Amino acid sequence: MLSSGAPAPQQVLAPLSHTPKPAKTMLEPAVIQCPYCWEQLEVFVDPSVRDQEYVEDCQVCCQPILIHAWFDADDQLHLTAAPEND
Ligand SMILES: [Zn+2]
CA 84 from centroid of its chain's CA atoms:
20
Q: What is the pLDDT of residue 58?
A: 96
In this structure, is residue 15 part of a structural domain?
Answer: no
CA 36 / ligand 1 centre spacing (Å): 5
Distance 70 CA to ligand 1 centre (A): 22
Assess if residue 37 is contained within a domain: yes
Q: How far is the CA of 79 from the centre of ligand 1 (A)?
A: 16
Q: What is the pTM of this model?
A: 0.67
pLDDT tens readout for residues 21-77: 666 678 999 999 999 999 999 999 999 999 999 999 999 999 999 999 999 999 999
| Residue 2 located in a structural domain | no
- Please tell me the total count of domains within the chain: 1
In a domain, 9, yes or no: no
Which residues form the domain of 34? 25-83
Nearest to 67 by CA among 75, 51, 48: 51
Please give the pLDDT value at position 53. Answer: 96
In a domain, 55, yes or no: yes
3-state secondary structure of 86: coil
Distance of alpha carbon 68 from alpha carbon 51, whole angstroms: 8
Q: Is residue 8 part of a domain?
A: no
pLDDT at res. 4: 67
